[in-house]
């Protein structure tokens, strides 16, 4: 008798737990679905802010599938940057409101290995559109820049970043 009572109790508890976070048809729980919707809403708002910036300055920009916006001013000459190449850039980063965050004028040029070093993923993506001598403007949505946390210094959380960049050296 005791085993039957324990079994019934176990089934009731198991059933209650299953109902609370029951996955929907896509395999997500209601709380996960709320998080997904909140993320989509933030991304949509950020995209509108980037579009407003582009329109305000009448910029003719392309857009990649990841959301990177770019305007190539000069492609440069020779082979385009690719994974494992060492790129050295002159740059200025700013927020959409025009606040300058970092600049090679004050910090020096930056050198990184394409697709490997710890720079913004949007910078890795954008630099591959340039060859040595190339000049461009990139707008990195926050998910391609410093994400939900910012850089804990000059770039706030969930901030798109504008890069004015020149690829001054490229080595294999």
3-class DSSP state of 59: coil
CATH for 164: 3.10.50.40
* pLDDT digit string, tens, across residues 83-134: 999 999 999 999 999 999 999 999 999 999 999 998 999 999 999 999 999 9
Domain encompassing residue 140 = 62-171
Is 108:139 a contact under the CB 8 Å cutoff?
no
Looking at the fold, whether 45 and 97 belong to one and the same domain comes out as: no
The 8-class DSSP code of residue 90 comes to: E
Looking at the fold, whether 80 and 21 belong to one and the same domain comes out as: no
- pTM (two decimals): 0.81
Looking at the fold, whether 163 and 82 belong to one and the same domain comes out as: yes
Looking at the fold, whether 138 and 158 belong to one and the same domain comes out as: yes
**Better-scored residue on pLDDT, 39 or 97:** 97
Looking at the fold, whether 71 and 148 belong to one and the same domain comes out as: yes
pLDDT at 142: 95
Beta strand 161-171 pairing with 86-94: antiparallel
State how far the Cα of 119 lies from the Cα of 91, in Å rounded to an integer.
13
Looking at the fold, whether 43 and 83 belong to one and the same domain comes out as: no
Among 58, 86, 103, give the residue marking a domain's end.
Answer: 58
3-class DSSP state of 53: helix
CA angle 163, 127, 103 (to 5 degrees): 30
Looking at the fold, whether 80 and 49 belong to one and the same domain comes out as: no
pLDDT at 26: 67
Looking at the fold, whether 97 and 143 belong to one and the same domain comes out as: yes
Looking at the fold, whether 83 and 109 belong to one and the same domain comes out as: yes
User: Which residues, in sequence order, are CB contacts of 97 under 8 Å at separation 6+?
Assistant: none
Q: How many structural domains is the chain composed of? A: 2
Q: Where are the alpha helices (DSSP H) in 1-78?
A: 2-20, 30-56
**Better-scored residue on pLDDT, 36 or 2:** 36
Looking at the fold, whether 96 and 35 belong to one and the same domain comes out as: no
Looking at the fold, whether 54 and 133 belong to one and the same domain comes out as: no
Looking at the fold, whether 149 and 121 belong to one and the same domain comes out as: yes
């Amino acid at each position: 008798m005791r085993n039957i009572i324990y079994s019934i109790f176990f089934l009731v508890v198991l059933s209650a737990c299953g109902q609370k976070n029951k996955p929907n048809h896509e395999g997500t729980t209601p709380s996960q679905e709320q998080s997904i919707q909140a993320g989509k809403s933030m991304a949509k708002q950020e995209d509108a802010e980037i579009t407003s910036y582009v329109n305000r300055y009448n910029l003719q920009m392309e857009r990649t599938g990841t959301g990177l916006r770019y305007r190539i001013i000069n492609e440069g000459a020779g082979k385009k940057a690719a994974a494992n190449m060492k790129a050295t850039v002159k740059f200025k980063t700013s927020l959409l409101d025009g606040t300058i965050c970092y600049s090679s004028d004050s910090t020096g040029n930056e050198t990184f290995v394409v697709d490997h070093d710890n720079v913004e993923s949007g910078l890795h993506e954008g630099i591959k559109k340039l060859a040595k001598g190339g000049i461009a403007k990139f707008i990195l949505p926050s998910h391609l820049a410093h994400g939900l946390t910012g850089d804990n210094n000059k770039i706030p959380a969930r901030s798109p970043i504008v890069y004015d960049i020149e690829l001054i050296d490229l080595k294999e």
